[in-house]
Structure 1
């Protein structure tokens, strides 16, 4: 298509779409309107920033900046005029031929006495945005203790980050075990023990009933009558898709903005991607689906692939907390036909659970040191048959993707094996980028985008680069 594409939202989905559009030839103008005053940044790495392992420049995304994109930060969109095909900002009306909503999601502030979402106390901070991260770091400076309300993925990452800064940290979670969407009770118990080793205390099955905060600290009241005190309270109680613009414009909204397989809303000149979009009744909430949607929509809008359709892929969830190795995928907890294998070693912080049906892996939890985690992810991601010796996966004897040969060396990894789940980058793509001249890890990352999502595959990318370097050195000396 030609004409003007306007993207509302400069987060991970909006910035990626702008980059994808720029990479495809065509006569079009792309305008990106971001409500936040910053350049686009990698929200997944905020917990690493909170832990002090990286600095702010390390979370920046550069996809849409300086590449012929009309990027405007600090410009919130206030309304959509569908009949005029315009979006309104505080001082301008901007016309579009096609509008893309990439408005993301907002942190949920629980309806507790003492919490006003529009006016939170200084020592009470949600954990969602870069500004939130800055506020937490400011409050943590000089603090001795912190409370985290919510024992999901992000809450645990925040708790681990605060503990690594020396704060006595307590997680309060209303459910019976941690990360109940991804883990079973046994895995949750092992994870709680691992966190305790890092100075994070966990309070389970106890809802909060109220909050009081002043200049001296924060008090969290619990349903069992206890009160907890700390210098800082971090809220990690989930997110809610930001659908206000779409709803006001009369688009179909359920939990998110409803889109079809081509990411179109019921207005064919408006699409939605990322955390705000609901496809086939599902909200993604993760970076890999958002970036896949950006690729599909770019193909559709530019005519690169008019038949492109978004097809959700199985998702692997990784906990990004220093010293904790956790991967959860598929449906590892519900019953039904098939095999189920488990192994638990709480003293070593190790837990594994595999669910197999028709010789295929349909779900898995791997917590702690398990050398076969990469193989398990490959089996799940590609739908390959599992090895006859199930113990090899359960207990950590690493196998090749087909379950027949050792996979300790990248030389034995199939070219089709996915190394970067977030960007769907294969080993073959990494090798091709190397042969095209990308001779360092940073150069390979820049060429392929591997490692720019959650960062969990960075070591694997480095291993492949080292292997290629050594192989080239051997060839030169022969």
Structure 2
């Protein structure tokens, strides 16, 4: 099948932007049109917490330079919302020019939206989902002394830590019985709770916020005083456009292994897509899906087989990683180390001598090796303790011992061999490696490993 001549992409976030750059890299002739409704150039949403914490600048989040679209002949309708899809005529419809845009292949990359709980006064709370939200929070924080964060999931913890780092007294109000219940077991969550308290962050568990006022957030009869309230209650896929067009929608827009919807002319990728039973809210799966569709739309066979779940919390003074099914307890081998006083918890979930899940809290030097073993589905060493404590390996250098095929940057699937090749071609620092390979440009958690590889290369000419 020849590549489609007219490709329309609805959404220009992390999935949509990756798709467009990959499409243009593979096919210079396709006519590509992008609709995005935020009115901004695409940026890395996963690093918003770093901006809030002051460890990254807004401009560092940019995924595509402003001139790229013009230089590569990509039409972008910025700040324009697609309101309908005419599947019979193969057109997308918008309320402002262009009112009708034809397509040969349509890709929905509409992302997700924050879950806003039905709480009286919740409009007084700020969201923490977009760059605009982050800018608003930073502005409000300058004149605030106390903050309440509604939600103790990953985003809520990152928001709370960022606000605490700005000098605010922060309270987290979480509905569940323990923090990050989607990624952590109860023991790990209890240790995380202690770490947050050591950082001066108060936590109310099992807390139902009943209303938000200008004085703060109310949990039953109790007022949690605040000058600033942030709602971080999770997200859900944006599926309204697809549903109105008659596409099959479950939790997300249902897609097959070619990421096609129930209409073969329409694909869906990123946080709005549901592959099998999974809706992924992580960066790496978004980019993996974008790469598959880019290949398919330029005439190269490809299939998406699902993604490995690797989560890294991005909060100063809190090291936390969760891989796969780290909460499973039955029918598996468990290897666990818990030291609450030291803020450390390490747990491996093993089935048939392969790693199927892990939770690492505290010092996480083991996460690189464990991620590689998890990604490859490799057999594990008999001495399990060496996996939890890499320094027990009798002086062996984990970076040097990595196989060439080891994935260092899971967001972009960049291997040790690719980083070595970039170094051999003159990429002498992490920034240069990022430009050459895209390593570190996702969640950024691999930057330390990339730096170690470069240091090793310089010292020993790997």
Q: Which category of TM-score, normalised to the shorter sequence, fits these structures?
A: over 0.9
Match runs of 1:30-49 below 5 Å: 30-49=32-51
Contact 1:398 1:408 in 2 (8 A): no
Cα deviations across residues 421-471 of structure 1 (Å, max 9, x unaligned)?
A: 111111011111222333332121111111011000011111112222233
**Residue 388 of structure 1 aligns with which residue?**
382
Correspondent of 1:240 among 236, 260, 283: 236
User: Contact between 1:406 and 1:412, CA under 8 Å: does it hold in 2?
Assistant: no
1:114, 1:130 → 2: CA distance?
23
Larger displacement relative to structure 2 (461-470 or 167-176): 461-470
Deviations 1:275-316 (A, max 9, x none): 11111121111111110000100111111x22x110113211
Secondary structure at 1:234 match in 2 = strand
Which 4+ runs in 1 deviate beyond 4 A? none
CA RMSD of aligned residues (A): 1.7
Contact 2:434/2:440, CA 8 A, preserved across alignment: yes
Q: Counterpart of 1:374? A: 368
Query: CA offset at residue 176 of structure 1?
Result: 1.0
3-state SS of 1:282 partner? coil
Partner residue, 1:100 = 107
Q: Partners in 1 of 2:396 and 2:158 — Cα distance?
A: 30
Conserved 8 A contact 2:369-2:398? no
Q: What residue in structure 1 maps to residue 147 of structure 2? A: 146
Partner of 1:193: 194
Separation (CA, whole Å) in 2 of partners of 1:407 and 1:31: 51
Which one of 10, 13, 19 corresponds to residue 12 of structure 2?
10
Farther-moved stretch of structure 1 (272-281 vs 408-417): 408-417
1:407, 1:166 → 2: CA distance?
Answer: 41
Match of 2:314 among 320, 330, 333: 320
Secondary structure, aligned partner of 2:391: coil
Q: Deviations over 1:406-429 (max 9, x none)?
A: 652533211111100111111011
In structure 2, the residue matched to 1:309 is 303
* 2:403 paired residue among 403, 414, 418: 414
The yes-or-no answer on 1:221 pairing with 2:218 is yes
1:249-398 equivalences in 2 (<5 Å):
249-303=245-299, 305-306=300-301, 308-397=302-391
CA distance in 2, matches of 1:197, 1:425: 36
Q: Is the 8 A contact 2:37 2:78 kept in 1?
A: yes
Q: Tell me the SS of whatever aligns to 1:459.
A: helix
More displaced, 429-438 or 33-42?
429-438
**TM-score, normalising length from structure 2?**
0.95
Deviation at 1:378, TM superposition (A): 1.7
Name the SS of the counterpart of 1:283 in structure 2.
coil
Matched residue, 1:91: 97
Contact 1:371 1:398 (C-alpha < 8 Å) held by counterparts:
no
Structure 2 stretches lacking a partner, 5+ long: none
Name 1:68's counterpart in structure 2: 73
Q: Deviations over 1:251-279 (max 9, x none)?
A: 11111111111011111111110011111
> In structure 1, which of residues 413, 429, 445 is the aligned counterpart of residue 418 of structure 2?
429
Question: Secondary structure in 1 aligned to 2:304?
Answer: coil
> What are the ranges of 5 or more consecutive residues in structure 1 without an aligned counterpart?
400-404
The answer on whether the counterparts of 1:407 and 1:413 sit within 8 Å (CA) in structure 2 is: no
Determine the C-alpha separation between the residues in 2 that align with 1:440 and 1:330. Answer: 31
Per-residue CA shift, 1:55-90, capped at 9, x if unaligned? Answer: 110111117644332223212212212122111222
TM-score by length of 1: 0.92
CA distance in 2, matches of 1:376, 1:398: 15
Find the aligned partners of 1:370 and 1:269 in 2 and give their Cα distance: 44
Larger deviation, residues 76-85 vs 131-140: 76-85
Counterpart of 2:174?
Answer: 173
The offset of 1:371, in angstroms, is: 2.9
Q: 1:240 to 1:409 in 2, by over 3 A?
A: closer
Q: Which residue of 1 aligns with 2:117?
A: 110
SS in 1 for 2:355: strand
Deviations 1:119-153 (A, max 9, x none): x22xx111111111111111111210110000001
Provide the C-alpha distance between the structure 2 equivalents of 1:196 and 1:180, rounded to a whole number of angstroms.
18
Q: Report the alpha carbon displacement of residue 99 of structure 1 after superposing the two structures with TM.
A: 0.7
2-side partners of 1:240 and 1:428: how far apart? 37
Secondary structure at 1:397's aligned position in 2? helix
Correspondent of 1:467 among 450, 456, 462: 456
1:290 partner SS: helix
- Residue aligning to 1:402: none
Change in Cα spacing, 1:409 to 1:255, as seen in structure 2 (3 Å) is closer
CA distance in 2 between counterparts of 1:97 and 1:398 reads 57
Cα distance in 2 between the residues matched to 1:258 and 1:281: 9
Do structure 1's residue 20 and structure 2's residue 22 form an aligned pair?
yes
Residue pair 2:148, 2:216 contacting (<8 A) in 1 also: no
- Offset of residue 10 of structure 1: 0.7
